[in-house]
Homo-oligomer: A and B are copies of this chain.
Amino acid sequence: MSRWEPDAQGRFRAAAMELFLERGYGETTVADIAQRAGLTARTFFRHFADKREVLFHGADRLRQTMIGALHGAPANATPFEAVTAALDASSEFFRDNREFARRRSQVIAANADLHERELIKLAKLSEALAEGLRLRGVTESDARLAAEAGIAVFRVAFGHWVAVGEQRTFGEILHDSLGRLRALTSNR
């Protein structure tokens, strides 16, 4: 980087989110975002490939965080306990970002292309969890089922967490959802 800008990335994120909510995602350009942030488009492209990346920038780091926790689970953990360790790590990851996550969810819900991108992100996360489980010696079938079930819990819990008025932490909601999944799938 040729010039140092204090927290340029954070300023671009905040500016982009304001504009996406004010005007709509499709109606916001990188030039608009840079202007709102008081920075240049050139600086924007040092941090993000395009405006969509502002919304999906954290996906790789989230996946690494979750996969790291999966690998770090005790050797005798069941597949679903290992997935739960990954989910717990995601709750640490999101701890301080609830307001950003709320706004981001609103932007994504309003745009079909972004919604598809979000689905693909979660599918990749599921595939990465399944791969991590296979490396722990879990069978192909159990790895995929445990990973998909874990992502199902993640999605549902995340939806609650960003809902207006929800007070519980992401970790609390995750554990409630895990308990509900167990209750739902058990024989009555």
Contact = CB atoms under 8 A, between A and B. Distances in A.
Of A80, A155, A184, A187, the most chain B CB neighbours within 10 A belong to: A184
A75 to B, nearest CB: 15
Contacts of A152: 144-145, 148-149, 151-152
A151 B123 CA distance: 12
Contact of A182 (B123, B144, B187): B187
Of A148, A151, A185, A188, the most chain B CB neighbours within 10 A belong to: A185
Nearest to A183: B142
Contact of A155 (B79, B142, B148, B156): B148
B155 A141 contact: no
Interface residues of A, number: 30
A160 interface: yes
A145 B181 contact: yes
Interface in A52-90: 78-80
Interface string A148-177: 110111011001100000000000000001
Contacts of A78: 184, 188
Interface SS majority for chain A: helix
Contacts of A151: 148, 152
Give the copy number: 2
Contact of A116 (B120, B144, B146): B120
A155 B140 CA distance: 13
A141 B119 contact: no
A123 B112 CA distance: 13
Given A146-B184, A149-B181, 16 more contacts: A79-B184, A116-B120, A119-B123, A141-B156, A142-B184, A144-B155, A144-B156, A148-B148, A148-B149, A148-B152, A148-B156, A149-B149, A149-B184, A152-B152, A185-B186, A186-B186
